């Protein structure tokens, strides 16, 4: 295929502004990717696309089909709301486009399974933008855990809590969703659990609810435990209707309990804690790993390398689908009040569509 890889961005309004202003310009500087069109229903965002990506007004569209038809590209970057992603992926397959898609890839397990089958049958490549797992702070934590220098892994705790209780404070559609928190937020932590534990989810147990002051149609708060196949246990605390944003997007709390030390990540600061039974823990700040690109920019660069057959990224569809299955297994557990065996759930759902 060669470089730069040409792409069309289908954005999701103001939620995608950071992609235009920061992420994509960084990727373009590597000469691995070049935009050929932008699609958004918000005219203001198309102006941002022109300013930040150097696109002409004639290459900015409000309809994805028109953009796919008129511009020659190698892949579609789909960032629009999760409820409409299946239709866009199907459309991309019609126009022979590979896909880099934001997570979650869909707002239901059935739609996610249909996306998987559509991409498979078209023999195209799809990868998922699993931002948290590839951010600098989480990558540093992952590498330390994988090094085994602190011994065997015992359990993991993740916290992602926000004050999005007022309608409209968390994008335009999430307050209308049935399970906004687990689908839109929990998926990132479940993916991180897989990465840190180096194992797949075995059993999920979840409870979710919406407090009276949360202006949500669905559940905005959840506690989830995940037992991994290798015996590691994980706990997710998520909330979107708290009185404050304690650990918001990009500033999550993750604690990994290892045999010879506690690794604690909080607001992008990582520290090691050790101590005997009755003494105050000794604390040491740990440096972050360093490389040119992190997060969404790195994921986009990797996707370009994937299209050129240079790598097989861990966020490709076959692998990322396991995090999607864990997410919707948590939704199922919260609805039924019963634990869900993830692999059985995945097989059942996949064969049902």
Helix %, strand %, coil % of the chain (to 5): 40, 25, 35
Domain that holds residue 43: 5-130+294-316
Q: Are residues 185 and 334 in the same domain?
A: yes
Nearest residue to 176 via CA among 253, 98, 107, 247: 107
Confidence of residue 171 (pLDDT cuts 50, 70, 90): confident
Total of domains in the chain: 2
CB atoms near residue 34 (< 10 Å): 18
Confidence of residue 237 (pLDDT cuts 50, 70, 90): very high
Residue-wise pLDDT for 252-268, tens only, equals: 999 999 999 999 999 99
Mean pLDDT over the full length of the chain: 97
Residue-wise pLDDT for 95-139, tens only, equals: 999 999 999 999 999 999 999 999 999 999 999 999 999 999 999
Given a cut of 80, whether residue 172 has pLDDT beyond it is no
Q: Are residues 126 and 232 in the same domain?
A: no
351 within some domain: no
Token pair belonging to 292: 């040119």
Q: Are residues 117 and 145 in the same domain?
A: no
CB atoms near residue 325 (< 10 Å): 25
24 within some domain: yes
Give the CATH number for residue 17: 3.40.50.720
Nearest residue to 224 via CA among 287, 156, 283, 309: 156
CB atoms near residue 2 (< 10 Å): 7
pTM, to two decimals: 0.96
């Amino acid at each position: 295929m060669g470089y730069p890889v040409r792409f069309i961005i289908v954005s999701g309004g103001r939620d995608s502004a950071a992609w235009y202003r920061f992420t994509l310009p960084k990727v373009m500087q590597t000469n691995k990717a070049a935009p050929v069109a932008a699609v958004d229903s918000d005219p203001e965002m198309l102006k941002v696309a022109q300013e930040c990506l150097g696109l002409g007004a004639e290459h900015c569209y409000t309809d994805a089909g028109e953009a796919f038809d008129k511009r020659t590209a190698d892949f579609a970057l789909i960032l629009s709301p999760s409820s409409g992603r299946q239709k866009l992926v199907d459309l991309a397959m019609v126009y022979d486009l590979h896909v880099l898609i934001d997570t979650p890839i869909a707002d239901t397990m059935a739609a996610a399974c249909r996306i998987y089958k559509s991409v498979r049958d078209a023999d195209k490549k799809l990868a998922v933008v699993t931002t948290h797992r590839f951010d600098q702070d989480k990558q540093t934590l992952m590498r330390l855990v994988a090094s085994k220098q602190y011994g065997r892994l015992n359990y993991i705790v993740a916290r992602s809590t926000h004050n999005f209780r007022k309608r409209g404070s968390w994008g335009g559609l999430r307050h209308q969703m049935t399970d906004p928190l687990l689908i839109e937020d929990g998926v990132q932590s479940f993916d991180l659990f897989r990465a840190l534990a180096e194992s797949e989810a075995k059993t999920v147990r979840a409870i979710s609810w919406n407090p009276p002051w949360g202006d949500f149609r669905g559940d905005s708060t959840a506690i989830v435990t995940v037992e991994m196949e290798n015996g590691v246990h994980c706990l997710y605390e998520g909330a979107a209707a708290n009185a404050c944003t304690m650990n918001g997007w990009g500033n999550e709390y993750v604690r990994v309990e290892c045999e010879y030390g506690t690794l604690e990540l909080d607001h992008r600061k990582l520290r090691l804690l050790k101590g005997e039974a009755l003494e105050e823990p000794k604390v040491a700040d740990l440096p972050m790993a360093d490389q040119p690109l992190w997060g969404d920019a790195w994921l986009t660069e990797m996707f370009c390398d994937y299209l050129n057959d240079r790598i097989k990224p861990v966020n490709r569809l076959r692998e990322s689908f396991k995090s999607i299955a864990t997410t919707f297994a948590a939704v199922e557990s919260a609805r039924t009040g019963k634990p869900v065996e993830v692999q059985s759930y995945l097989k059942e759902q996949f064969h049902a569509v």
